[in-house]
């Protein structure tokens, strides 16, 4: 197994270590999500609810709510009929019109009559509360420990805790196990109205940010259970219609509070003015068969709360939303809130695992795009989950994604940069800058990993180096070697070759790695021809200085090789290993025996399509029983080639006639 090393301070980060780092960061992000989901710290809960509020507003339907109507004692009604409080007789008139003339199915009064009014009006209203499907409101006070408890009026509608709420005998005796809200006081209707058949609690406890998102399912006060106004309204029955009773679905009382669905926009409700009701200005049958809530939106009465739908909402509309939710529950349109934490865990497990895979293969930018896309994917899923009343942390997965975004992506970018620098540093010793730039741009940092490639190898060497340098001072030997290596290195790099190594007075180079190259043989031959041209100029300069010319041998052969960074823990080098490397070296050594400066092996000759290749003879490969044909390039000229044929000698056979391989179109 080969590891691609990246400098990290004085250490090395191997490929497996990078995978371990990615997995560790993903695991930490996953643990963060699970922890936040479990602990629900205040700041996370605040963001959760804020995001859910946005979803509620987006999901709220404007389809008309045909089951419910709202009678509003609005500013217009007050201006028309006089200031609040109205005479009890007028309130009784309003209830009679709604029940007897308009045919309302049930009526709930979001009004508390703590004091007596006019005697006739009180008597009429009391009779209506006792005999008609009319529910009165009362406020339970949950703010205990703040001085004297609130005790005004007489609470009504309290029920024994037990099977009626589906609690069982144990929980009915110890309701605190379910955390029901314990009331410490009350503001109820005057005892004159204690004969009312139905009464519901309108008290509530807003969330920490002041928004009313939940209502108590059941409140406990002085050992009795009290339900909310909408619940009491559905339960309310009369002697004339004793079967018209609707209880919430099973399991409704298994939790202390209930998240109001707010599935409908306020514009979906039929809202009529109390003045229009009393003046008989409503279309016939508008309220027939509906649940009717009576209350006030007048700012002068101050019954306003903040809800997910709006920062300032009439309390009456909260009860309308709660009633819609209870009716939807019974009809199966919505369900009771369910635990969605398992969905959070499963989703994060899948997407965070994929993040590790994407980061490993895509780099920083692709990873960033994936994480942004994952955020939108989660938001889409969270929107659907919130619409279906699942209780889950909506923000925790986003915080987990953010954790990956600020840790894993920067780390991957830094490691990629470090790997790129290491790659540049390594390859700069072997290839030209354009090749390095192309590799860096492609993002393929695995080029250093040993792999099989088809390459063309060039070996160049100075002829008679020992004789040339044995009698000259050391400084001249160094200068001669430098000039010679400059002469043979430049064309290799210019033609996109990879400089494998210097071998004393020669070099070994190849084409086809680290970047694949379809015309590697032609590029190698072009580099060889350029070397010979530059070499001729070098000899001309030496002649001007009175120095004897020096000889040159070049061997070119192609084939398969293993190319990559190889070595030991003490030292590595980017190199090519294969039979074609050995053959190129043998061919280069035999060039002088054939009397030519450039000798091309059979594989490279077959791969070339841009040069005229001439067969010059055959060569026995030392250490093997094989013999190969060798060629030279026609661009060297017939005169030089004829000289090679006539004067050549050595281990091969020189042919008197040559086969010309013309360039391919």
pLDDT one-digit tens code per residue, 101-123: 999 999 999 999 999 999 999 99
User: Residue 302: pLDDT band by 50, 70, 90 thresholds?
Assistant: low
Please state whether the predicted TM-score (pTM) of the whole model is above 0.75: no
User: Residue 581's closest CA among 424, 453, 458, 478?
Assistant: 458
Q: What is the pLDDT of residue 653?
A: 46
Q: What is the pLDDT of residue 640?
A: 44
Q: What is the pLDDT of residue 550?
A: 86
Cβ distance 524 to 488 under 8 Å? no
| Residues 368-410 pLDDT 10s | 899 999 999 999 999 999 999 899 999 999 999 999 988 888 8
Cβ distance 565 to 449 under 8 Å? yes
Give just the sign of the alpha carbon dihedral 159, 164, 169, 172.
Answer: negative
Tokens for 252? 């409704």
Q: What are phi and psi of 201, to 5 degrees?
A: -85, 135
User: Residue 365: pLDDT band by 50, 70, 90 thresholds?
Assistant: confident
User: Residue 565's closest CA among 623, 471, 500?
Assistant: 500
Cβ distance 213 to 307 under 8 Å? yes
443 burial via Cβ count (<10 Å: 0-12, 13-18, 19+): middle
More confident residue, 590 or 361: 590
Q: What are phi and psi of 257, to 5 degrees?
A: -130, 165
Q: Which of 370-374, 572-576, 637-641 has the lowest mean pLDDT?
A: 637-641
For helices 396-427 and 341-387, give the axis angle rounded to 10 degrees.
Answer: 120
Cite the DSSP H helix spans in 498-628.
520-544, 579-590, 602-607
More confident residue, 238 or 55: 55
Mean of per-residue pLDDT scores for the chain: 85
More confident residue, 530 or 573: 530
In DSSP notation, 245-280 reads --PPPTTGGGSSEEE----B-GGGEEEEEHHHHHTT
Q: What is the pLDDT of residue 642?
A: 36
| Residues 472-519 pLDDT 10s | 788 888 888 888 899 999 999 899 898 889 888 889 999 998 888 899
**Alpha carbons 214 and 200: distance in angstroms, whole number:** 16
pLDDT at 163 over 70: no
User: Residue 240: pLDDT band by 50, 70, 90 thresholds?
Assistant: low
Walk me through the domains of the chain, giving residue ranges and CATH numbers: 21-50+339-425 (no CATH), 60-336 (no CATH), 439-661 (3.30.70.1230)
Which SS3 state, helix, strand or coil, does residue 511 take? strand
Q: Which of 83-97, 140-154, 280-294, 308-322 has the lowest mean pLDDT?
A: 140-154
Tokens for 465? 């180096």
Q: What is the pLDDT of residue 455?
A: 96
Q: What is the pLDDT of residue 622?
A: 78
């Amino acid at each position: 197994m080969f590891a691609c090393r990246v400098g990290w301070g004085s250490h090395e980060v191997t490929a497996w270590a990078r995978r371990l780092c990615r997995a560790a960061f993903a695991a930490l992000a996953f643990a963060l999500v699970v922890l936040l989901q479990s602990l629900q710290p205040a700041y996370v809960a605040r963001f959760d609810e804020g995001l859910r509020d946005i979803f509620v507003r987006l999901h709220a339907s404007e389809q008309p709510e045909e089951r419910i109507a709202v009678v509003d004692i609005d500013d217009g009604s007050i201006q028309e009929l006089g200031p609040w409080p109205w005479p009890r007789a007028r309130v009784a008139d309003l209830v009679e019109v709604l029940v007897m003339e308009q045919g309302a199915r049930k009526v709930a009064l979001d009004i508390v009559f703590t004091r007596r009014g006019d005697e006739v009006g009180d008597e009429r209203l009391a009779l209506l509360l006792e005999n008609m499907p009319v529910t009165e409101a009362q406020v339970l006070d949950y703010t205990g420990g703040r001085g004297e408890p609130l005790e005004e009026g007489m609470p009504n509608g309290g029920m024994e805790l037990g099977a009626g709420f589906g609690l069982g005998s144990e929980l009915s005796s110890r309701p605190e196990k379910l955390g029901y809200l314990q009331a410490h006081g009350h503001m109820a209707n005057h005892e004159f109205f204690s004969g009312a058949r139905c009464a519901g609690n309108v008290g509530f406890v807003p969330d920490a940010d002041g928004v009313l998102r939940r209502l108590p399912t059941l409140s406990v006060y002085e050992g009795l259970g009290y339900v909310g106004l909408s619940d009491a309204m559905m339960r309310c029955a009369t002697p004339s219609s004793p079967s018209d009773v609707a209880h919430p679905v099973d399991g409704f009382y298994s939790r202390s509070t209930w998240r109001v669905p707010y599935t409908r926009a306020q514009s979906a409700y039929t809202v009529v003015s109390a003045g229009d009701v009393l003046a008989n200005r409503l279309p016939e049958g508008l309220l027939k068969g509906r649940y009717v809530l009576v209350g006030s939106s007048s700012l002068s009465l101050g019954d306003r709360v903040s809800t997910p739908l709006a920062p300032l909402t009439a309390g009456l509309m909260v009860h309308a939303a709660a009633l819609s939710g209870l009716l939807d529950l019974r009809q199966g349109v919505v369900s009771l809130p369910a635990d969605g934490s398992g969905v959070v865990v499963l989703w994060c497990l899948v997407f965070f695992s994929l993040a590790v895979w994407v980061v490993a293969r895509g780099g920083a930018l692709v990873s960033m795009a994936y994480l942004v896309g994952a955020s939108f994917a989660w938001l889409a899923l969270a929107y659907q989950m919130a619409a279906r009343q699942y209780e889950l942390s909506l923000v925790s997965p986003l915080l987990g994604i953010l954790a990956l975004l600020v840790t894993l992506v920067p780390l991957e970018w830094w490691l990629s940069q470090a790997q790129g620098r290491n790659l540049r540093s390594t390859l700069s010793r072997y290839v030209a800058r354009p090749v390095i730039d192309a590799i860096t741009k492609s993002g393929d940092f695995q080029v250093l990993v040993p792999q099989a490639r088809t390459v063309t190898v060039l070996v160049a060497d100075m002829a008679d180096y020992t004789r040339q340098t044995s009698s000259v001072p050391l400084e001249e030997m160094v200068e001669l070697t430098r000039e010679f290596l400059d002469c043979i290195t430049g064309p290799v790099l210019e033609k996109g070759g990879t400089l494998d190594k210097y071998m004393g007075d020669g070099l070994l180079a190849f084409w086809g790695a680290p970047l694949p190259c379809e015309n590697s043989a032609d590029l190698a031959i072009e580099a060889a021809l350029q070397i010979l041209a530059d070499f001729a100029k070098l000899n001309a300069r030496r002649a001007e200085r009175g120095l004897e010319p020096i000889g040159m041998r070049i061997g070119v052969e192609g084939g398969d090789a293993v190319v990559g960074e190889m070595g030991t823990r003490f030292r590595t080098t980017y190199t090519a290993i294969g039979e074609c490397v050995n053959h190129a070296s043998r061919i280069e050594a035999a060039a002088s025996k054939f009397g030519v400066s450039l000798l091309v092996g059979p594989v490279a000759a077959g791969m070339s399509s841009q040069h005229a290749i001439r067969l010059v003879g055959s060569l026995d490969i030392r250490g093997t029983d094989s013999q190969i044909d060798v060629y030279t390039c026609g661009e060297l000229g017939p005169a030089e080639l004829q000289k090679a044929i006539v004067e050549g000698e050595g281990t091969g056979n020189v042919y008197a006639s040559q086969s010309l391989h013309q360039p391919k179109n």
